[in-house]
Chains A and B, each alone.
Chain A
Amino acid sequence: MTRPQLSRIELQGFRSFGNARQFIDLAYSVSALWGGNSQGKTSFVEALEFLFTGQIARRELLASTKDEFAEALRNAHIAPTHPVWVEANILCPDGQTRTLTRRLVEDYKRGSAAGCSSRLQIDGRVCTEDDIRDQLGLRLSHPPMRAPVLSQHTLGYLFSVSPKDRAAYFRAILDTQELEDFRIGVAALQPLLKTPELPALDDLVSVEAIPELSVSTRQLQKAETQAALEKSLVANTSALLTVIGIVPGATLGDQATQIETELLRRRARTFPLDRFARSVLIAWGGPPATLAGIVEGFISERAKIDAEARRLVNLFQAALSLPHQPDEHDPVDCRLCGTPQTFTARRVTYIRTQLAAAESYTTAEASVQTALRNLDGRLEALAQSVERACPKFMRETSASRRAAGFTVAQIAAIGPDAAVIRGWFDAVRRLSRAARFTLRRIATARAELATALSDLDQWSGGGSLAEALLQVGGAHDHLEACLSAYDGPAKEVGTALKAAVDQSANTKGWEALVRICRDPSGLWSALASAAAHTHKVKTLEKALADIDTANGEVADSKFADLSDGIRRWWNLLRPNEATYFDAVQRRSGKTRRTIDLKVGLSSSDDRSNAKIRDAIAVFSQSQLHCLGLAMFLARAIQENTGFIILDDPVLTSDDDYRPNFVASVIEGLLDAGLQVIICTQDYKSWKDIGDRWAHRGAVQFQIIRNNGVIGTEIRSQNDNLATMLATAQPLIKSQDPSVRKEGASRIRQAIERFAKMIVVQERQRNGELLASITDYDGKNFSAYSQQAMNLLSKDPSHPGKLKAAHQYVTPGPHDDKPPSSSELAFACGDLKKLKKDYLD
Chain B
Amino acid sequence: MTDGAELDSDGPAPAKLNNTQRLRTHLASGSLAAALLTAWEKGDPAEAQARMLAAMTRFHAPKQVADDETAAQQN
Contact indicator A185/B75 (Cβ below 8 Å): no
A182→B49 CA distance, assembly (Å): 10
A549→B28 CA distance, assembly (Å): 12
Contact indicator A175/B19 (Cβ below 8 Å): yes
- Tell me how many residue pairs across A and B have CB atoms closer than 8 Å: 104
Binary contact track B27-52/A, C-beta < 8 Å → 1, others 0? 11001110011001000000011001
Is A716 an interface residue when CB atoms closer than 8 A count as contact?
no
Is A567 an interface residue when CB atoms closer than 8 A count as contact?
yes
- With A567-B1, A571-B4, A575-B3 as contacts: A540 and B56 at CB distance below 8 Å: yes
Contact indicator B26/A182 (Cβ below 8 Å): no
Nearest-neighbour CB distance to chain A for B73, whole angstroms, equals 10
Give residues of chain B (8-28) contacting chain A, Cβ–Cβ below 8 Å.
Answer: 8, 19-20, 22-23, 26-28
Binary contact track A529-558/B, C-beta < 8 Å → 1, others 0? 000100110011011101101110110011
Interface residues on B, range: 20 to 34
Contact indicator B7/A672 (Cβ below 8 Å): yes
Is A1 an interface residue when CB atoms closer than 8 A count as contact?
no
- CB neighbours (8 Å) of A672 from chain B are 7-8
Which of B5, B7, B36, B63 gathers the greatest number of chain A CB atoms within 10 Å?
Answer: B7
A468→B60 CA distance, assembly (Å): 58
- CB neighbours (8 Å) of B74 from chain A are 224-225
Contact partner of B64 (CB less than 8 A), chosen from A532, A558, A576, is A532
Contact indicator A227/B75 (Cβ below 8 Å): yes
Which residue of chain B has its CB nearest to the CB of A180?
B19
A564→B4 CA distance, assembly (Å): 9
Nearest-neighbour CB distance to chain B for A247, whole angstroms, equals 30
Give residues of chain A (654-697) contacting chain B, Cβ–Cβ below 8 Å.
Answer: 664, 668, 671-672
Contact indicator B20/A178 (Cβ below 8 Å): yes
- With A189-B56, A225-B71, A539-B60 as contacts: A182 and B4 at CB distance below 8 Å: no
Interface residues on A, range: 35 or more
- With A225-B74, A554-B22, A557-B22 as contacts: A546 and B1 at CB distance below 8 Å: no
Contact indicator B32/A542 (Cβ below 8 Å): yes
- CB neighbours (8 Å) of A175 from chain B are 19
Binary contact track A737-758/B, C-beta < 8 Å → 1, others 0? 0000000000000000000000
- CB neighbours (8 Å) of A188 from chain B are 49
Contact indicator A535/B60 (Cβ below 8 Å): yes
Which residue of chain A has its CB nearest to the CB of B27?
A550
- CB neighbours (8 Å) of A481 from chain B are none
A192→B50 CA distance, assembly (Å): 11
Contact indicator A185/B26 (Cβ below 8 Å): no
- CB neighbours (8 Å) of A528 from chain B are 67
Contact indicator A176/B7 (Cβ below 8 Å): no
A595→B5 CA distance, assembly (Å): 26
Nearest-neighbour CB distance to chain B for A599, whole angstroms, equals 12
Contact indicator B75/A182 (Cβ below 8 Å): no
Contact partner of A532 (CB less than 8 A), chosen from B31, B52, B60, is B60
- CB neighbours (8 Å) of B32 from chain A are 539-540, 542-543, 546
Contact indicator B19/A178 (Cβ below 8 Å): yes
Contact indicator A572/B52 (Cβ below 8 Å): no
- CB neighbours (8 Å) of A664 from chain B are 5
Contact partner of A543 (CB less than 8 A), chosen from B6, B31, B64, B67, is B31
Which residue of chain B has its CB nearest to the CB of A531?
B67
- CB neighbours (8 Å) of B71 from chain A are 225-226
Contact indicator B33/A546 (Cβ below 8 Å): yes
Contact indicator A550/B26 (Cβ below 8 Å): yes
Contact indicator B3/A554 (Cβ below 8 Å): no
- CB neighbours (8 Å) of B28 from chain A are 546
- CB neighbours (8 Å) of A540 from chain B are 32, 56
Residues of B within 8 A of A (CB): 1-8, 19-20, 22-23, 26-28, 31-33, 36-37, 40, 48-49, 52-53, 56, 59-60, 63-64, 67, 71, 74-75
A-B contact pairs, 27 of them (CB 8 A): A179-B19, A179-B20, A182-B20, A188-B49, A189-B49, A192-B53, A225-B71, A225-B75, A226-B75, A227-B75, A528-B67, A532-B60, A532-B64, A535-B60, A535-B63, A536-B56, A536-B60, A546-B27, A547-B27, A549-B26, A551-B23, A567-B1, A568-B7, A572-B3, A572-B5, A576-B3, A637-B7
